[in-house]
Amino acid sequence: MEFAPIGLQPLQGCRVVLERSAPKHAPFLRECYQNEEFMDLYRLAQNRDETEAQIKQRLVKEQQHLPQQLKGIEWVIHQQKQPIGLAALVDYKKYHQRAELLFGLTDSKYRGTASSLESYLLVLEFAFNIIKLHKVTALIYGYNDKAQKTVEHLGFVQEGLLRDHINTPKGFINMYFNGLTENDFRSSKSMQRLSKHFLKRDVTATPPLVEPLTKDYLAKVEQAIRM
């Protein structure tokens, strides 16, 4: 029997492929961390001083664990085999079946394009159909109007505005708190239409029931990734 650990397989779209961050991606991640404009939109809390060697060392250690053990997963978004951005599900809460979505494209020419929407859809498909989350949250910085409009277009509901929530070198900034429940996801006509158009499949459809993973299966999977 072949084992396919959840989260290790690439997410395949028509235009883009999302690969789990691996040591080979260290040079691109270093470029991302040095790109102030990108990081200010993607993740303010990231340590931007990591060297390429430090990033590679960290990723080598992460490869020895399953995403659920790390409480999150980050992907490198590729278009025509070229890395163009990052996406992640972080702060995974097993009991609450919830995680936070992070998303960013390094060049503004990709933002709001088919590649951008396709990447979002692939992450949400993974969240609700593969790891069976009940809710995905998206915390958007107050100055990132495009990202806020994008998540609302996808069906996220703005659940709150956190005023002066984060202190930055440029001063305190607001943060939009958005949420997408599984029911929102399944009932979204917009998501259904977009996924059929861009991915050629309906990601909102309820996937077939599968048998729950046993402890024996998980033990064999963990052994396999360490070989």
How remote is the C-alpha of 218 from its chain's centroid?
23
CATH number at 72 reads 3.40.630.30
Residue 23 falls inside a structural domain: yes
CB-CB contact of 126 with 204 (8 Å)? no
Give residue 44's domain range.
Answer: 11-225
Q: Which residue has the higher pLDDT, 162 or 8?
A: 162
Sequence-separated (6 or more) residues with CB below 8 Å from residue 19: 10, 25, 75, 76, 78
Residue 153 falls inside a structural domain: yes
Residue 75 falls inside a structural domain: yes
User: Residue 135 pLDDT > 80, yes or no?
Assistant: yes
**Of 37-46, 116-125, 211-220, which range is least confident?**
211-220
Question: Total structural domains in the chain?
Answer: 1
Residue 27 falls inside a structural domain: yes
Predicted local distance difference test score (pLDDT) of residue 1? 34
Residue 104 falls inside a structural domain: yes
User: Taking CA 166 as the corner, what is the angle to CA 164 and CA 169, rounded to the nearest 5 degrees?
Assistant: 105
**Which residue has tokens 């998980």?**
218
CB-CB contact of 99 with 93 (8 Å)? yes
User: pTM here?
Assistant: 0.88
Average pLDDT value for residue range 12-31: 97
> What integer best gives the mean pLDDT of the chain?
90
Q: What is the dihedral of CA 78, 71, 151, 210, to 10 degrees?
A: 80
Predicted local distance difference test score (pLDDT) of residue 65? 85
Calculate the alpha carbon distances from 150 to 1, 147, 216 in Å. Answer: 41, 5, 41
What does the alpha-carbon distance between residue 32 and residue 96 come to, in Å, rounded to a whole number? 31
Q: Which residue has the higher pLDDT, 119 or 2?
A: 119
Residues recorded for the chain: 227
Rg, Å, the chain Cα set = 18
**Helices vs strands, H then E, count in the chain:** 9, 8
Encode 13-27: b = buried (16+ Cβ within 10 Å), e = exposed. Answer: bebbbbbbbeeebbe
